[in-house]
Structure 1
Amino acid sequence: MTAMRRFEGHAVLITGAARGIGAATARRFADEGARVLVTDADLPAAEKTAAALRERGATAEAFGCDVARRAEAEAAVARAVDAFGSLDVLVNNAYRCTPDTPLFEDGSDDDWAADLDVTLSGAYRCSRAALPHLVASGRGAVVTIGSVNGIQDFGNHAYSAAKAGLMSLTRTLAGHAAQRGVRVNLVAPGTVRTSAWEGRERDLAVASGLYPLGRVGEPEDIAAAVAFLASADAAWITGTTLRVDGGLLAVNTAFRQAVRAHAQESGEAEGDGTG
């Protein structure tokens, strides 16, 4: 358990918090003293996560919330305020990601719309409902989970477009909310070891070799970044996208490895291969 207690007395709502990054973020906030509303479309799973937090001595409740439904997003915010008396932090983590079809033109309107509705519009709905309460708290913060997919092409067209949209929403909402005392930021993770990769350890091992830091991320890596941006330690940070990606977007590891291998095979001095 972390020794820091930056969120004593804070009330935190996290969407998509039943598992993975959301659950790790809930644990991080709870360990730092926050009261946490664990929301997820899968209520039984959310209840298990909340129960685990209570076993750690935290104050936590679960609430069923499909962020694609405005009424449920608003009800989740109302529940947090009713249960805890206020709302200080909103973490937009819920998402939907449909695998790409082999050909772009074979993609369906329904899948495209659903990915955007949950991932992008869901964050909009929750932020809209939460904002008055975040303003009232006097220390409000929104932290949204984006992705490197919103910055560079890694496939998943609709999901990536939604994540890119979240970066724009972060900037525009930050500009609107700053004068009202609310900060708005986004964390853009790279590959993170979650249940979405279950049974694909070999794929994760291959992916690890493409990261300059030599490994994929863990949910706790993202949770730490979220907690920082939500805390007073980031009091002069708003409207930013924080890449938490093991250096993936900064260094083209695969390219460097290819150049190095070619140099070794040819006996040439290693260069950068860019001309």
Structure 2
Amino acid sequence: MRFDDRVAVVSGGANGIGWATVERLLDEGGRVAILDREPEAAAAKVTERTERDATTSDRAAVFECDVMDAASVDRAVSGALDRFGRIDVLAAVAGGDHFVDDELDEDHWNEIVSLNLHGPVRLIRACRQALITSRGAIVMVGSVNGVAAYGEPAYGSAKAGLTLLAKNLAVDLGPAGVRINVVAPGTVRTRVWEGQGGPDRLAPLYPLGRVGEPADIASAIAFLASDDASWITGVTLPVDGGSLAGPLVVMDHLLGSQE
């Protein structure tokens, strides 16, 4: 019950890693504001969970939010504060990528950077004062693409930016008692793999012999957001099944698959 009497804001909370994080925080006693641009999907999952745990209806609330729109973020965070009165944790999960023929296309870069780098900044800006008041914690979801060159340069560059963002804000917000860290997942079984043959074809790349599950990432987010990590800030934690331990093997496979 590490989050008993604490309030978390989770962006991208309707699906995948975001929903797994919502469930983990609720399981540990927290109250959660779920921010997502698909509020109906989030609300349906809250209703389903309430059938198993009646307290969910009082401890979870859904707010429509597009992290690429600063006004939308501000409205959602304001709604969360009105509902719960405080914010102790910000989990900036919302993000993503899609493939384009020209990886240097300007519109593509603007979109991907706005979603994956500027989105967390918008959330932090909106939550900053509440987090200072609570001496809270921020966890952003990066990627192994932001640590090593696995292709997708716009996405990788945006995710890499989170590492330096976390380091800078760790210094700036540390004196106020606010911690900020990043988790960097490898391949995770989420809906992004629909129509792509599924993620399990990449399992041989991982020393642990499998791809990740959303709950694997949620566990790391919960750790970094909790008092168990009270002396950890400015860190990027790979949660990647060991892929970064053998990047040459991964790159050899990826290059071979393109031949």
Task: State the TM-score, normalized to the length of structure 2.
Answer: 0.91
Q: Separation in 2 of the partners of 1:190 and 1:230?
A: 20
Which deviations, in whole Å up to 9, do the C-alpha atoms of 1:80-132 show, x marking residues without a partner? 1111111000011111312142x54xx42111101111111010010011010
Equivalent pair of 1:191/1:245 in contact (CA under 8 Å): yes
Equivalent residue for 1:52, pick from 15, 32, 48: 48
Equivalent pair of 2:9/2:32 in contact (CA under 8 Å): yes
Aligned 1:241-252 pairs, distance under 5 A: 241-252=236-247
Q: Separation in 2 of the partners of 1:111 and 1:98?
A: 9
CA RMSD of aligned residues (A): 1.7
Q: Separation in 1 of the partners of 2:49 and 2:3?
A: 15
Equivalent pair of 1:98/1:158 in contact (CA under 8 Å): no
Aligned to 1:213: 208
1:253: how far off?
7.3
Q: Separation in 1 of the partners of 2:190 and 2:234?
A: 27
1:49: how far off?
2.7
Structure 2 residues without counterparts, runs of 5 or longer:
254-259
Equivalent residue for 2:166, pick from 164, 170, 173: 170
Equivalent residue for 1:17, pick from 7, 13, 20: 13
Q: Which aligned segments of 4 or more residues in structure 1 are displaced greater than 4 angstroms?
A: none
Identity %: 45
Aligned to 1:39: 35
Q: Separation in 2 of the partners of 1:253 and 1:216?
A: 18
Which shifted more, 7-16 or 149-158? Answer: 149-158
Aligned to 1:82: 82
Which deviations, in whole Å up to 9, do the C-alpha atoms of 1:43-93 show, x marking residues without a partner? 211222332343333210111000111111111211111111110000111
Highest RCO, 1 vs 2 (Cα 8 Å, sep ≥ 6): 2
Aligned 1:243-262 pairs, distance under 5 A: 243-252=238-247, 254=249
Q: How many residues align?
A: 248
Aligned to 1:130: 127
Equivalent pair of 2:63/2:80 in contact (CA under 8 Å): no
